[in-house]
Amino acid sequence: MTVHTFIDEAPETGPATTPLKAGRATSDIGEANQWTLVWYKFSRNKLALVSGVAILFFCLVGLFAEFLAPAIPDASRPQFTNAPPQQLGFFVTEPDGSQRFQLHVTGYAMEVDPASLRRTYVPDPEQVVPVGLFVTGAPYKMWGLFNADLHLLGPTEAGDTMYLLGTDRLGRDLMSRLIYGTRISMSIGIVGVCISLVLGVVLGAVSGFYGGVIDTLTQRVIEVISSMPTIPLWLGLAAAIPLTWSPLMVYFIITLIVSLFGWTGLAREVRGRFFALRGEDFVTAATLDGSSERRVIFRHILPSLTSHILAVVTLALPTMIVAETALSFLGIGLKAPIVSWGVLLQEAQNVRTIANAPWQLVWPAGAVVVTVLAYNFLGDGLRDAADPYES
């Protein structure tokens, strides 16, 4: 009998952990818990990191809309319709030629078209409108709770104009409207995703855990829903909202409609993971230990896929935001006085408006695109980081 020995058999070299990042000690990683590992992996993706910061920024803008907006979104000044954006400047030239630091915007010069008598505004660099930080301006109710009138940025003289992003057809400040719209659009995404999170996780978990008839039934429902072209369906449901309902009701119903069709992807993901985890040892152990089915599902299996769910949810968010924007854009979603990015875009529906006042298209559209991109990058980063154990 011959005994085979391999000459080049290497001696044992300790645990097979590969450093996730050069410079981080293996012992660090060996002791880190799962979320720390996820964070290590996630923070290597700079694009996702930047996107996360951008999302956070948008959320904060939405949260403190009243304070950040220079004006009240509904306050219109009919004499300044479709006024172009005013440039923000930092230094003014004194009469003697020296430069002095003074936040300001350039004023307007009015031109009347002799043929149509229509008034148009052009920025006039000669005029200087002084503006300042933390100025008192139009009074508002912070979060609907207490009265305040402090604004981050605004004209120091009441009655002066400061339209950093221009105005719309009724002479309302686009910047303020955009900031208030951020609150609605971001929150619709987040609230909608929470609803579809509950639906998707419960249905996905149940169908993945039990399998059989329940699974087949859920899969059929998902198939029907995901084979429907979404926009016609959203249109159909949104059009049934009675006109007499209050804007707040409409807001909730639109969120519900948007989320009713967003849960399918999540349910699929959760179901697939449940199928994979159902046979794992820790599940068997929990069952043998006398855990109820509910406990096994929610206490043992679900926590182990939280990071995956987080990634799917992040990727589902932009769909919700685009859905709301599309509905409002078509005029059967949110309506005035509620301001969302879609409501703003509705103003820019025809070529004439866009040609005369392109800022009405550029800024809301830019906000939508940046948000959608940021959520996508963030979601991609989270998805890659969701499983920190694979190389």
| Residues engaged in binding other proteins (CB under 8 A) | 220-221, 223-224, 226-233, 235-237, 239-240, 242, 318, 322, 325-326, 329-332, 345, 348-349, 351, 354-355, 358, 361, 365, 368-369, 372-373, 376-377
User: Least separation, in Å, of the C-beta of 45 and other proteins?
Assistant: 14
CB-nearer residue toward other proteins: 212 or 232: 232
Pick from 33, 27, 26, 58: nearest CA to 368:
58
User: Least separation, in Å, of the C-beta of 65 and other proteins?
Assistant: 22
Residues 6+ apart with CB under 8 A from 272: 208
Q: Are strands 119-142 and 99-112 parallel, antiparallel or unpaired?
A: antiparallel
CB-nearer residue toward other proteins: 44 or 77: 44
Q: Are 201 and 309 in contact (CB under 8 A)?
A: yes
CB-nearer residue toward other proteins: 162 or 313: 313
Q: Are 54 and 38 in contact (CB under 8 A)?
A: no
User: Least separation, in Å, of the C-beta of 269 and other proteins?
Assistant: 15
Report the alpha-carbon distance of residue 112 to residue 68 in Å, rounded. Answer: 33
**Amino acid at position 15, single letter:** P
Helix (H) or strand (E) holding 358: none
CA distances for 76 relative to 83, 132, 261, 307, angstroms: 12, 22, 37, 46
Q: Are 322 and 329 in contact (CB under 8 A)?
A: no
CB-nearer residue toward other proteins: 187 or 376: 376
Give CA 137 to chain center in angstroms: 29
User: Least separation, in Å, of the C-beta of 358 and other proteins?
Assistant: 7
User: Least separation, in Å, of the C-beta of 308 and other proteins?
Assistant: 19
Strand-pairing partners, residue 111, are 120
CB-nearer residue toward other proteins: 112 or 231: 231
Please state, as a whole number, how many other Cβ atoms lie within 10 Å of the Cβ of residue 146.
Answer: 7
User: Least separation, in Å, of the C-beta of 264 and other proteins?
Assistant: 11
CB-nearer residue toward other proteins: 57 or 134: 57
The SS3 assignment for 326 reads helix
User: Least separation, in Å, of the C-beta of 365 and other proteins?
Assistant: 5
Where are the alpha helices (H) located in 173-262, listed in sequence order?
174-210, 212-227, 230-239, 247-260
Residues 6+ apart with CB under 8 A from 294: none
CB-nearer residue toward other proteins: 89 or 272: 272
CB-nearer residue toward other proteins: 256 or 354: 354
Q: Is the peptide bond before 337 cis (omega within 30 degrees of 0)?
A: yes
User: Least separation, in Å, of the C-beta of 380 and other proteins?
Assistant: 10
CB-nearer residue toward other proteins: 277 or 372: 372
Residues 6+ apart with CB under 8 A from 101: 90, 91
User: Least separation, in Å, of the C-beta of 229 and other proteins?
Assistant: 4
User: Least separation, in Å, of the C-beta of 26 and other proteins?
Assistant: 28
What's the start-to-end Cα distance of the chain, in Å? 41
Residues 6+ apart with CB under 8 A from 239: 332
Report the alpha-carbon distance of residue 25 to residue 78 in Å, rounded. Answer: 65
CB-nearer residue toward other proteins: 175 or 237: 237
